[in-house]
Amino acid sequence: HGNGNHDKETHARAKAFLAFQFTQPGAPIISVGDVVKSDKSLVTFYQSLIALRKSYPLLTDGKVSFYEMDDENNVLAYARENKDGERIYIAFNMSSKSLKMPTPLGFMSSTKVRVWQSNFPKLREFVTQGPITMRPLTATIMIIP
C-alpha cells in the first residue's frame, strides 16, 4: 500500500472528485458497485451524496455561475440557482492547507445554512458566524434553506 499520507491524499481527492460529479448535470459515471470494488470505505460517503442530490435537485438542475477560480490557492467555487431564487454554493479546496470557503458578493454572515463537507459527509444546519473553514483536499456544499 505504500505511504499512508499518499493514500489519505488520494482518498481525499477521490471524495472531492465524486462531489464535483454529483453537482453537475447528469448521472455520475461511477456506480456503487465500482465504489465497493475499489474502496469499501467510500460507500457511506457515496450514499450521502446520493441522498443529498435526491433532497436537493438544485445540485444538478440549477443555473451555474462561477464566482471564485483561484489558481494560486487551488480553489474553485460556484453557485447553483433556480428561477425561484434558491441557492447552493459549492467550493473545492484542492490545496494542502485549510482555507476559508469563498462566498459570492452579497452573502450575509449570520445566515442559516446547511453544510455538507467531503471530510464530514453529514448535512449540518447552523447559523454562520463567519466564513466556513474548508480542510485541505475537500469539497464543501452550502445550502441556503
Rounded to an integer, what distance in angstroms lies between the CA atom of residue 72 and that of residue 128?
Answer: 26
Q: What is the pTM of this model?
A: 0.82
> How far, CA to CA in Å, does 17 sit from each of 1, 66, 91, 109, 112?
21, 17, 12, 28, 27
Per-residue pLDDT of the chain (145 residues), as tens digits, is 445 676 788 878 888 888 887 787 665 556 666 666 666 677 788 888 888 988 998 988 888 899 999 999 999 999 999 888 889 999 999 999 999 999 988 787 788 999 999 998 889 999 998 889 999 999 999 998 7
Whether residue 80 contacts residue 90, with contact meaning beta carbons closer than 8 Å, is answered with yes
